[in-house]
Amino acid sequence: MDNELNLFDLFLLAWRGCKRAVKALWRTCVCAIRLTIRKWWISLPVLVIFIAGALIYTRQDNLTYKVYAVAKLNGPTLNLFNEVFRPLQSGVFFNGTPEVAHYIYDRTARRFETFPVIDCLRDNIIDYVDFDRDIKPTDTVNWQMRDHICIQFRIKYRDLAEVPTIEKQLIAYFNGNESMQHAYKSALPVMDRKVEFCHTQIEKLDSLTTAFYFNQKELSLQESSNNTIVTGEQSSRSMELFLPAIYAHIDYTQQVDVQRASYTAPVALEDHFAVNPDPINSRAKMLVLFILAGWLVSLAIAWGVEKACVKSI
């Protein structure tokens, strides 16, 4: 029982371990700085070379930007879209070579990726794009839209003028796929029936509202052959209309109309590709990374030279 540790002893051991680790790190840094100063004739040229490399790498023509756009899927599922999208990531096309392929082969456009689009209120309006991919598919608050997806690729500054051409060829590649066309043609009649149903219900509600407000007698409803509502007298029952439900149906019908109007192709962009103004390899970030890498390389060279001098003595 004497070997047991209580919580205080455990914290004390952890504190002592952290102190030893910090002291060891401090001694290592001090030794590295002393070695850098002692072998300055090695460290300085290496740092100059790495700084020059950083300046060359971050020239304006070499700056790399992220380009992205949100695509709307009119019929195809996300799984089908990802299957068609995968050759753009691998650069391997089995069913012919599309026009956009030569931009991938010469690395004008690279690092193609897709990101889920989030709708928080479930009102079919895009709230944001999950670029971090930290939203789970089972999340009931941040809902991943099933008919929208964000497309992103990287391109250098000198090739930014090619973005409109790449956009057209990407859309042609998606919409020219047989599976995408089949899914689109299958979904189109379903959408037409949905629009027809919503407008039929609007006509019924209009007839029902007219009968309620302009006929003060008790009403009974009977559906006629032309999908309208006719009224008749009935002494046993009355009817009550709920305006919020009617307004909600009208709003839903408008959404369906807008959705049907966008059904022009299997894949359609919400807007043109936009360029993120912040480059990936910005000069400030690259200078810090290159200086750190140059310092580590100079330390390794200086340590090797010092060891060789000690052995020679």
pLDDT tens string 167-180: 999 999 999 999 99
Look at residue 168 in the predicted model and tell me its pLDDT.
94
- The answer on pLDDT for 296 being more than 60 is yes
Query: Model's pTM, two decimal places?
Result: 0.76
Tokens of 269: 């962009």
For 58-96, letters b (16+ CB in 10 Å) and e give: beeeebbbbbbbbbbbbbbebebbeebbebbeeeeeeee
pLDDT in tens, 46-89: 999 999 999 998 898 889 999 999 999 998 999 999 999 999 98
Residue 245 confidence (pLDDT): 73
**Average pLDDT over the chain, rounded to whole?**
84
What is the average per-residue pLDDT within 180-205?
88
Q: How far is Cα 297 from Cα 299, in angstroms, rounded to an integer?
A: 5
Q: Which two tokens stand for residue 164?
A: 């409109």
Q: Domain boundaries in the chain? A: 7-58+282-312, 63-187+265-275, 189-261
Give the residues across from 3 on adjacent strands.
none
What's the pLDDT band for 91 if we cut at 50, 70, 90?
Answer: confident
pLDDT band, very low/low/confident/very high, at 45 (cuts 50, 70, 90) = very high
CB distance 111 to 103 below 8 Å: no
pLDDT on residue 260: 86
Q: What is the pLDDT of residue 264?
A: 87
Judge whether residue 238 has pLDDT over 70: no
Coil, strand or helix at 241: coil
Structure tokens at 250: 């009208």
Tell me the chain's radius of gyration from C-alpha atoms: 33
At 224, is the pLDDT very low, low, confident or very high (cuts 50, 70, 90)? very low
Which tokens sit at 235?
A: 């002494």
By DSSP bridging, strand 109-119 and strand 274-275 are: unpaired
* 231 has a pLDDT exceeding 60: no
| Residue 5 confidence class, pLDDT cut points 50, 70, 90 | low
244 falls in which pLDDT band (50, 70, 90)?
A: confident
pLDDT band per the 50, 70, 90 thresholds, residue 107: confident
The whole-angstrom separation of Cα 309 and Cα 291 is 26
**Cβ-based neighbour number of residue 139 at 10 Å:** 13
Region 118-144 average pLDDT: 85
Q: What is the mean pLDDT of residues 96-114?
A: 88
**What is the chain's length?**
313
Question: What is the SS3 assignment for 278?
Answer: coil
* Res. 219: pLDDT tops 50: no
State residue 209's pLDDT score.
66
Residue percentage of the chain with pLDDT more than 70: 86
Residue 252, pLDDT score: 85
Residues 6+ apart with CB under 8 A from 115: 68, 129, 130, 131, 133, 149, 150, 152
pLDDT 10s digits, 246-291: 778 888 888 888 888 888 899 999 889 999 999 998 899 999 999 9
